[in-house]
Chains A and B, each alone.
Chain A
Amino acid sequence: MKFAVIQFPGSNCDQDLVAALRDVCQQDVQLISYQSTDLSAFAAVLLPGGFSYGDYLRGGAIARFAPIMGAVQQFAAAGGLVIGICNGFQILTEAGLLPGVLQRNKGADFICQSAALTVANAKTSFTSAYADQQSIQLPIAHGEGNYYCDDATLAQLKAEQRIVFTYQDNPNGSRANIAGITNQAGNVLGMMPHPERAVEALLGSEDGRGLFQSMIQTLTDKVVPV
């Protein structure tokens, strides 16, 4: 069971993800270049935070055409677990793997702080280690994290329980306090908060661990013992 962390030019949370998975969760993890086109060796794919391609044009707008993204599309279509965090979330929306868009924060400021979140759905492949409606603390650090989608999409997200994390004190103007959503199939998650920055008490919170533990549990359950 191997995790792939994609490195785009301008990614800056890739090493944090590797540390969280390798050092804290004792998982096999490998950094994969954006120029690669093959993800067949991996059980899960993670798109890290940062400023891919300098956020030129819009966050994620150029990264979605990176060579690796064809493989990410295929991996997601085949039901593989894909998570995009922060800039990774922006890339997934630009790529059409998740609906909506991350706009500039309502107050125009870059926000870097700890955010209180509610686990709005603990029945997903990414949140099963949490309790439903559990309150957790994760860091946020973004200038464009204001989630927006049209009314029809919002109604669908709600009806299909695809809103996974919500802000308790909406910091950026996101619609319906949305901090993280999944795709319809439930195997692709995008979220603005950084679970990889909250995996050790030394970092101020361990609340991010549950996300990685949930993914590991999901993948373990899926693997047929030989």
Chain B
Amino acid sequence: MYRAKVYVTYKDSILDPQAEAIKTALHQLEFPELTQLTCGKYFELELATTEAKAATTVEQMCQKLLANVNMESYRYEIVAAE
């Protein structure tokens, strides 16, 4: 069993109004030190597969559904689970 943690975020070139709105709200809450904020999606997957296949599977999941590669990029970590 392997556990994958997948992070999907907008590419740098994509304006994210949601992140801008959150940033503005934090500024209004008097956190002036905030200079940059990114928000995205986080997935935890448990995979009944081999170590060799796990990365390929997660890669395909990201490409096919979890991310839209037009506007989002993704990264993931895979660790052996109990």
Chain A residue total in the interface (Cβ 8 A): 18
Task: Tell me the minimal C-beta distance from B68 to chain A in angstroms.
Answer: 5
Task: Tell me the minimal C-beta distance from B2 to chain A in angstroms.
Answer: 22
Chain B residue total in the interface (Cβ 8 A): 13
Contact A105–B17 (Cβ < 8 Å): yes
Contacts known (A104-B17, A106-B15); A58 close to B68, Cβ less than 8 A:
yes
Contact B18–A108 (Cβ < 8 Å): yes
Tell me the chain B residues, 20-73 only, with Cβ under 8 Å from chain A. Answer: 20-21, 41, 65-66, 68, 70-71
The interface bits of chain A over 30-73 (1 if a CB of B lies within 8 angstroms of the residue's CB, else 0) are 00000000000000000000000000011001000100000000
Contact A148–B70 (Cβ < 8 Å): yes
List of B residues within 8 angstroms of A217 by Cβ? none
Task: Tell me the minimal C-beta distance from A107 to chain B in angstroms.
Answer: 7
Taken together as a complex, chains A and B put the C-alpha atoms of A173 and B14 apart, in Å, by 11
Taken together as a complex, chains A and B put the C-alpha atoms of A101 and B70 apart, in Å, by 7
In this complex, the member of B20, B21, B41, B65 whose beta carbon has the largest number of chain A beta carbons within 10 angstroms is B65
The interface bits of chain A over 96-134 (1 if a CB of B lies within 8 angstroms of the residue's CB, else 0) are 000011011111100000000000000000000000000
Taken together as a complex, chains A and B put the C-alpha atoms of A170 and B21 apart, in Å, by 21
List of B residues within 8 angstroms of A100 by Cβ? 70
In the complex formed, the residue of B with least CB distance to A104 is B17
